[in-house]
């Protein structure tokens, strides 16, 4: 999809479908002008057909029959949404491409005049473009007669070209296309995407943006002592691997990662049958999505590299297929995780926390690099219980650092990838004790999402850490605001925004340190994400 900008009045925009935001209260100038050009018919008909065309989410499509430069106009109710904030525009952008697609129009325009001119409008343009890309699924169609693709052109009306607009559009493209990459991987049937193929796809995507990829295969996993990844993958014909993505944005290439690097970990179970603790048929139907955390980490790393953020990031994806077989790992097995802790396997279907334990212990130790990361965030389709607790709209967020959790909650609201915090209740920890090993991989009843996170915490080496359980949100059975039905790519936007925040704080810190080199301006007074406490 081409994205163009034009500073013409909305009524003169040449396009197939012109989308206008219609907030409650007085009509914005663009709506008034288009209404005027239609001889007052646009609003009159909208009010006649709909109880309240300004209601959030309501859509009225008007055929212009030559009265306007656009073939049709869509009035989209914005309710009392804040039109100075990006999330309303992101949703509007998604609605624009969805509408264009369903009306089979190749060109769509969105008028930005309802956003205040200046920085707010520039940001609205970026958010609209991002939403427009997100509104298209990005998943390769597998029907014999492919469904209509989205529009070929998006026109943003009311902003001109210029460096600020170029910058937000570049970001929109990077985030949107990275989300498509993640969605397409998640939607790919598990038979077509064993761990090695996931790794090849990661290499291909990374190569085009100058991201370094290392794939650690079985022999390497043995050498490193990643016995949980090996055990989980042993029942499959397709060997497991650990996919490592390295982005060195904080200066020279080919140097070790610095102490301020960020670490992202994503669960990459390419198919979860449950293993010998076999799932039910209905529980298994949907388990190709069990690598959604890994796909989000890959997408975010690709976007971060495309944007050239001035920060170092390490992304790690433990990839394995969990299958039952004569060689499969068994309930009762005892595994030694990277770093030495032992785990008694009670249930082979609690495999995500096992592969993540190896990966988290490894990145938290800063293994292979001179320094440990500043913080670790993992994304995982970890528990069915999270949908019971929170449903299908919000992810569960658990972690050990208030600053990091605060950032992620705020970013979730800004990006429309919402999360809600659940507590890490220490009193439940004894429920993970094993009679024979350090830990067992299941809790002792209830609070499944909390037990999963408590287990993971044991492998984070005391570093600031946050965990997003995305099992409920990785796939949209019903379309969400910026997510069509199907694979969601949840987490790409969140991780990119988190890296941007960290990079921004880092550069501010550097400036301040140069101006006034007081020790108080350095690490000690800051939270782990660089924020002042």
User: Site residues (CB under 5 A) for Mn ion?
Assistant: 272, 349, 351
Q: How far is the CB of 287 from Mn ion (least distance, A)?
A: 8
Under the binding rule (CB under 6 A), the answer on residue 349 touching ligand BES is yes
Report the sign of the C-alpha dihedral through residues 77, 80, 83, 89, in that order: negative
* 156 vs 276 by CB, closer to ligand BES: 276
Indicate which residue of 353, 418, 440, 505 is catalytic: 353
Q: State the Cα–Cα distance between residues 28 and 38, nearest whole angstrom.
A: 16
* 3-class DSSP assignment, residue 217: coil
Q: How far is the CB of 133 from Zn ion (least distance, A)?
A: 29
* 270 vs 383 by CB, closer to ligand BES: 383
- Identify the H or E element spanning 216: strand 212-216
247: β partners: 313
Q: Which stretch binds ligand BES (CB under 6 A): 24-32, 80-88, 167-175, 286-294?
A: 286-294
- Identify the H or E element spanning 408: helix 402-415
Q: State the Cα–Cα distance between residues 105 and 159, nearest whole angstrom.
A: 23
- CA angle (114 as vertex; 112, 118 as ends), nearest 5: 70
* 137 vs 277 by CB, closer to Mn ion: 277
47: β partners: none
Q: State the Cα–Cα distance between residues 415 and 485, nearest whole angstrom.
A: 18
Cβ neighbours of 522 (radius 10 Å)? 12
Q: How far is the CB of 380 from ligand BES (least distance, A)?
A: 8
267 is catalytic: no
With CB atoms as reference, the residue minimizing the distance to ligand BES is: 384
121 is catalytic: no
Buried (b) or exposed (e) across 383-396, using 16+ Cβ within 10 A?
bebbeebbebebbb
Under the binding rule (CB under 6 A), the answer on residue 351 touching ligand BES is yes
- Identify the H or E element spanning 173: helix 163-187
Residues from 334 through 353 that contact Zn ion (CB under 5 A): 352
Under the binding rule (CB under 6 A), the answer on residue 357 touching ligand BES is no
360 near 297, Cβ under 8 Å? no
Indicate which residue of 90, 107, 248, 279 is catalytic: 279
Token pair listed for 315: 């992304």
Residues in contact with Zn ion, counted by CB under 5 A, come to a total of 4
Q: Which stretch binds ligand BES (CB under 6 A): 17-25, 376-384, 428-436, 513-521?
A: 376-384
**Nearest alpha-carbon partner for 260 in 510, 520, 519:** 510
Cβ neighbours of 196 (radius 10 Å)? 17
Binding mask 443-482 for ligand BES (x = CB under 6 A): -----x----------------------x-----------
Report the sign of the C-alpha dihedral through residues 125, 127, 131, 134, in that order: positive
Q: Which stretch binds ligand BES (CB under 6 A): 12-20, 296-304, 346-354, 395-403?
A: 346-354
Binding mask 277-306 for Zn ion (x = CB under 5 A): -------------x----------------
Residues from 260 through 279 that contact ligand BES (CB under 6 A): 272
Contacts to ligand BES by CB under 6 A? 272, 286, 289-290, 347, 349-352, 381, 383-385, 442, 448, 471
Contacts to Zn ion by CB under 5 A? 269, 272, 290, 352
Task: Give the residue numbers marked as catalytic.
Answer: 279, 353
């Amino acid at each position: 999809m081409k994205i163009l900008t034009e500073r013409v009045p909305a009524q003169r925009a040449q396009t197939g479908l012109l989308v206008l935001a219609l907030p409650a209260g007085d009509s914005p100038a663009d709506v008034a002008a288009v209404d005027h050009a239609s001889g007052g018919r646009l609003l009159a008909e909208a009010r006649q057909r709909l109880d309240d065309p300004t209601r959030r989410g309501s859509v009225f499509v008007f055929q212009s029959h030559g009265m306007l430069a656009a073939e049709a106009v869509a009035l989209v109710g914005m309710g009392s949404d804040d039109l100075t904030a990006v999330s309303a525009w992101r949703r509007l952008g998604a609605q624009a491409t969805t509408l264009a697609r369903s009306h089979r129009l190749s060109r769509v325009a969105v008028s930005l005049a309802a956003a205040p001119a200046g920085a707010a409008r520039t940001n609205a343009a970026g958010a609209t473009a991002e939403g427009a890309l997100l509104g298209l699924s990005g998943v390769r169609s597998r029907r014999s007669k492919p469904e209509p693709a989205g529009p070929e052109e998006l026109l943003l009306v009311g902003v001109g070209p210029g460096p600020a607009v170029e910058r937000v559009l570049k970001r929109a493209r990077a985030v949107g296309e990275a989300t498509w990459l993640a969605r397409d991987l998640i939607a790919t049937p598990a038979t077509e995407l064993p761990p090695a193929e996931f790794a090849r796809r990661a290499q291909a995507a990374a190569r085009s943006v100058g991201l370094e990829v290392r794939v650690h295969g079985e022999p390497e996993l043995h050498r490193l002592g990643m016995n949980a990844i090996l055990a989980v993958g042993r029942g499959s014909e397709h060997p497991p691997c650990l996919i490592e993505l390295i982005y060195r944005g904080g200066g020279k290439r080919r140097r070790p990662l610095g102490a301020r690097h960020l670490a992202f970990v994503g669960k990459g179970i390419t198919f979860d049958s449950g293993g010998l603790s076999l799932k039910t048929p209905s529980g298994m139907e949907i388990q190709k999505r069990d690598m959604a955390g890994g796909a989000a980490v890959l997408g975010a790393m690709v976007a971060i590299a495309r944007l050239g953020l001035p920060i170092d990031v390490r992304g790690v994806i433990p990839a394995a297929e969990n299958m039952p077989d004569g060689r499969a790992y068994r309930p009762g097995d005892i595994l030694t995780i990277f770093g030495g802790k032992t785990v008694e396997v009670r249930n082979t279907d609690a495999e995500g926390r096992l592969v993540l334990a190896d990966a988290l212990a490894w990145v938290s130790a800063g293994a292979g690099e001179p320094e440990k990361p500043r913080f670790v965030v993992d994304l995982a389709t970890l528990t069915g219980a999270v949908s019971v607790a929170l449903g299908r709209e919000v992810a569960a967020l658990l972690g050990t650092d208030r600053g990091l959790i605060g950032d992620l909650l705020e970013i979730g609201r800004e990006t429309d990838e919402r999360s809600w915090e659940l507590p890490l209740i220490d009193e439940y920890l004894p429920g993970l004790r094993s009679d024979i090993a350090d830990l067992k991989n299941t809790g002792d009843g209830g609070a499944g999402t909390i037990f999963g996170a408590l287990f993971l915490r044991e492998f984070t080496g005391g570093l600031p850490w946050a965990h997003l359980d995305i099992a409920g949100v990785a796939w949209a059975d019903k379309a969400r605001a910026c997510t069509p039905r199907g694979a969601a790519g949840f987490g790409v936007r969140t991780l990119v925004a988190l890296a941007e925040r960290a990079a921004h704080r880092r550069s501010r810190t550097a400036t301040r340190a140069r101006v006034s080199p007081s020790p108080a301006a350095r690490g000690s007074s800051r939270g782990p994400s660089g924020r002042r406490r």
